[in-house]
């Protein structure tokens, strides 16, 4: 069940996303090679940023994240983003055989480039794929009316492409060549 976030929790989540995925220096925190940052350092950064928080607040934001963007270490002393990094990290998600089809949500303005060049990670480490149309639609809807692309992931894997499955169910791959992409028959644009 998704819980409505308070404005304070939304601001914490946005700060965590930015610092843990893109710019730890902006929060004056250190991220290790596996993407982990010390909870105490993150709490101090939140305080400096005008978002005083407790370890319990942080645990709630992690638990209530609609996409399970973050994870806490078992001892509660470390926190990291699960994927979406533009900074160098080695998350070591296992190479996993994907289902026959995965999905990618986008919007019309990116469609011609995707169909010409395939899906590229852009500033991230990997292309993010969804296990179902509904999730892909929610991802695409963040930027406008979603267009859902079906990815022939089983064929890609058979042809030697690797897939990884993150801890929150997002499928990751280095690149999706155009030949493995087709438009969902449910799109009406």
Q: So what's the pLDDT on residue 124?
A: 74
The phi, psi pair for 153, rounded to 5°, reads: -70, -35
Q: Is residue 90 part of a domain?
A: no
Mark whether 107 and 179 lie in a shared domain. Answer: yes
Residue 141 domain flag: yes
Which backbone phi and psi does 110 adopt, to 5 degrees? -100, -5
The gap between the terminal CA atoms of the chain, to the nearest Å, is 32
Per-residue pLDDT, 93: 80
The answer to whether residues 17 and 49 belong to one domain is yes
Statement to judge: residues 26 and 70 lie in one domain: yes
CATH of the domain at 109: 3.20.170.30
Whether 94 is in a domain gets the answer: no
Q: For residue 189, tell me if it sits in a domain.
A: no
pLDDT of 24 = 95
The tens place of each residue's pLDDT in the chain, 189 residues long, gives 344 578 999 999 999 999 999 999 999 999 998 889 999 999 999 999 999 999 999 999 999 877 788 999 999 999 999 888 888 777 778 899 999 999 999 999 999 999 999 999 887 778 989 999 998 998 888 888 999 999 999 999 999 999 999 888 889 999 999 999 998 655 544
Neighbours of 26 (CB within 10 A): 12
Give the distance, in angstroms, between the CA of residue 116 and the centroid of all CA atoms in the same chain.
24
> 59 in a domain, yes or no?
yes
Q: Are 102 and 131 in contact (CB under 8 A)?
A: yes
Does 65 share its domain with 109? no
Specify the pLDDT at position 150.
95
Q: How many domains does the chain have?
A: 2
CATH of the domain at 37: 1.10.10.970
Give the DSSP H/E element, type plus range, for residue 137: helix 133-140
The tokens 């983003």 sit on which residue?
81
Structural domain range at position 136: 102-183
């Amino acid at each position: 069940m998704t819980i409505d976030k308070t404005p304070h929790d939304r601001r914490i989540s946005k700060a965590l996303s930015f610092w843990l995925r893109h710019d730890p220096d902006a929060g004056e925190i250190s991220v290790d090679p596996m993407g982990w940052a010390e909870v105490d350092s993150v709490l101090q950064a939140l305080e400096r940023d005008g978002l005083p928080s407790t370890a319990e607040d942080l645990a709630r934001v992690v638990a209530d994240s609609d996409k399970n963007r973050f994870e806490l270490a078992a001892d509660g002393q470390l926190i990291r983003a699960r994927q979406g990094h533009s900074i160098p990290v080695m998350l070591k998600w296992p190479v996993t055989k994907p289902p026959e089809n995965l999905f990618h949500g986008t919007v019309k303005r990116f469609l011609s480039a995707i169909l010409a060049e395939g899906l590229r990670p852009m500033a991230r480490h990997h292309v993010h794929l969804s296990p179902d149309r509904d999730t892909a639609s929610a991802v695409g809807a963040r930027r406008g009316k979603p267009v859902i692309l079906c990815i022939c992931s089983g064929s890609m894997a058979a042809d030697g492409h690797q897939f990884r499955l993150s801890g929150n169910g997002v499928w990751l791959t280095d690149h999706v060549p155009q030949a493995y992409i087709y438009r969902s028959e449910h799109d009406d644009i």
